Homo-oligomer: A and B are copies of this chain.
Amino acid sequence: MSDTVVVGLDVGGTSTRAVALTLAGERLGDGRGGGGNPTSHGAERAAGELLTALRGALSGVDPTRVRAGTIGLAGAGRLLADPAGKAAFDRAWRDAGLRCPCSVHGDALVAYASGTASPDGTVLIAGTGAIAAQVHDLRLDRVADGHGWVLGDAGSGFWLGREAVRRLLAGLDGGRTAGPLATQVLTELVGSARVAAHPRDTVDAVVQAVTRRPPVELARLAPLVVAAALAGDPVATGLLDEAAGQLAESAGRIRPPGAVDPVVLGGGLLTGDTPLATAVRAELGRRWPDAPLRTAGDGAAAAAWLAARDLPEVTDPTALHPLLVPPTT
């Protein structure tokens, strides 16, 4: 059993991570590649990054020892439905010397499994976008939001950025003095916190600065909201509370009242000790007081654990989880 190796990959929009682990939890290798999302980068390039990350994780590892592997990526369903994309990923897998089967799961399931071994629960993710999903028997079941920035992603980084600009514009319309968050958003967008003699000129400059870029880039303003909230700006704190309410509402569309299985928080805005995570924990605690709240952690390790679960020698997947997946809070 100690000879058996499992491989996990966490394929994200900006980086790809791979890990090779023994079933005893020994970390044999880590690998990294660039962004590998086949939807945004194209299947060939994504498969190339996958291969780079895999080779990093497998340097010094006999690939015939690898008995199972899992890839977690956003849009997994689209990849599996696209024969050319699937072929490119299969080729990268073989080019890395791997002969074992490889399963593909959505990034939401992998984020969930990075925070808990419980077969049933909820995962709530807020990064640039936002999505909630029920997990049943370690498969994604019902999903809420993830509708994209035009129609949804309520409480996401995009949403926070857009609302921060909307509050700035409302203040300029009303002739109010800009608070700390508005000042920082104004400076970020137009290079100065000075309001023109005709405030409508500043309004127009802000609108133009936003509409010059793809709207989804409003998400890059989210860290300003987080920072302003940490500095005590009530406008920023109010936005985070509102975002937390929206995220909890999305989860509430699919998670039954009174559920006691775990909720895993994932995505850049909810992992780590962020004020949005604090607000979301408070909101979830009100709605589901008896549910354990967990944070997503090492996605590549979680993918490796998901792969290991199906091996005949793994009789207790739950007991294996803490060996393979570093614990989170």
Residue of B nearest to A203 (CB): B147
Known: A150-B210, A254-B174. A200 touches B169 (CB 8 A): no
Q: Which residues of B contact A136 (CB under 8 A)?
A: none
A173 to B250, CA, bound (A): 9
Q: A162-B150, A215-B150 are in contact. Are A175 and B142 (CB under 8 A)?
A: yes
Query: B166–A152 contact, CB under 8 A?
Result: yes
A250 neighbours in B (Cβ, 8 Å): 173
Within 8 A of B (CB), among A239-277: 250, 253-254
B162 touching A144 by the CB < 8 A rule?
no
A151 contacts B144, CB within 8 Å?
Answer: no
Task: Report the minimum CB–CB distance from A300 to chain B (whole Å).
Answer: 26
Contact B253 A174 (CB under 8 A): yes
- Would you call A143 and B173 a contact (CB within 8 A)? yes
Inter-chain CA distance A174–B145, complex, in Å, is 10
Q: Is A282 an interface residue (CB 8 A)?
A: no
Q: Which residues of B contact A143 (CB under 8 A)?
A: 173, 200, 203
> A165 contacts the other chain (Cβ, under 8 Å)?
yes
CA distance A142 to B203 in the complex (A): 11
Residue from B151, B165, B173 in contact with A166 in the complex, judged by beta carbons closer than 8 Å: B151
A155 to chain B, nearest CB (A): 13
Contacts known (A173-B254, A253-B170, A253-B174); A165 close to B142, Cβ less than 8 A: no
Contact surface of A with B, Cβ cutoff 8 Å: 142-145, 147-148, 150-152, 162, 165-166, 169-170, 173-175, 199-200, 203, 207, 210-211, 215, 218, 250, 253-254
